[in-house]
Amino acid sequence: MEPKYKRVLLKVSGEALAGPDKFGICDDMLVGIAAQVKEIHDLGVQIAIVVGGGNFWRGRTGQSIDRATADYMGMLATT
């Protein structure tokens, strides 16, 4: 199969990495995503990956940072 695109940008959300745990990084999700990326790479596609950082801040339980500030920090982490 010939790929439609030679280069792609993949944005992986922090939520996707968290899997069913909804926080942090789930090893099973990470391995699954890596296998899919490898499959595309093996077709000759160049892949750039951006990993979202929002869930690390939104998932926090501390009271020292309000929700809006935590969301902004997560967006900045992604950037």
pLDDT tops 60 at residue 13: yes
Mean pLDDT over each residue of the chain, to the nearest integer: 83
pLDDT tens digits, 20-48: 877 678 899 999 999 999 999 999 999 99
pLDDT tops 80 at residue 8: yes
What residue spans define the domains of the chain?
Answer: 7-78
Predicted TM-score (pTM) above 0.75: no
pLDDT tops 80 at residue 5: yes
Distance CA 42, CA 48 (A): 14
Taking the alpha carbons of 33, 38, 39, 44 in that order, is the dihedral positive or negative? Answer: positive
Phi, psi dihedral angles at 47 (to 5 degrees): -125, 125
